[in-house]
Structure 1
Amino acid sequence: MKHYSYAEWQQYVKDEMGNSLREELEGHLYTCDQCLDIYLQAVTANETSLPTLPNETQFTDRIMVMVPVTNCNVSKVEITKTVPDTRLFHYLLAAAATLLLMFTGVFQTLASYTSAFEKPMIQEKKPKPSVTEGVINRTFAWMDSIEKKEAIKK
């Protein structure tokens, strides 16, 4: 991944580069945290040269006036009156559905299926004994049989 220098980020902040390189730098900011840190350093260093808003509240008010209003004849009072009614309706609908599912036994049936999911799907397989372990086990079994035969003879 190509990283950009501090000088390039300063040019970006001061708007001293072409559109193609500008778009490339903007795209790079989305993927590179290292360059984002350098960019923030360049912004901080050039903070005094950036334009400032003389009156932020007036700016916000002017922008809000320019935002198009949708063609809606409903006043704010009417909207606030209908919102609690829809919430109450949704609450009652959810409560009725819960009671219906409880009384029909759906939840009980679902609870019985959960035991099947609680069991592990993959069972542990015991590893096969190696050839060496098999030979050792047979040797000990053979030696035990010889000791038993000698014990019987005595």
Structure 2
Amino acid sequence: MKHYDELEWLFYKERVISEEKYNEMEDHLYECDECMNIFLSLIDNEEINSAEKIVPENFTDSVMDNIKNFKNKSITKVERNDMIFKNIFGYYVAVAVVAIILTWGGFFSSLVDTLPKAAKSTINEKAIITPNIVFNVSEKIVNRTSNFIDNFQNLNCKEAAK
């Protein structure tokens, strides 16, 4: 996917590019969050204020009313289930074909032989021998806190017993 830079988005915003390029960039905005963020960063307060003057105050309410009044055509369950079954069946066939190809090619048998060797080579023996400093510090804090609470409870028990 081709991304556009800030200058291109500025030209898009000012409409100083060809109509074909404008439509191409607009379609790209629907697909790319990164470019959408760049484009939105180019919008300043002056443009927001002018848009607020154009958009009526009851815009949201009228849109919500239109959505409530909109009646959509639903497809029948038979067609829907049939489509889902065809899609799932197609996925299973694709996975089965890939598994058969990998098995015939010896991928799985080589994987079984290679993985233990790779795992053994990645073990860092120095890390095993070296103590974890952060864990030791946190362990000391926990132990000291526990001892403090025990001493405090014992002190309270002794005072209550007197």
TM-score under structure 1 length normalisation = 0.33
Task: Specify the structure having the higher radius of gyration (Cα).
Answer: 1
**Which structure carries more helix by proportion?**
2
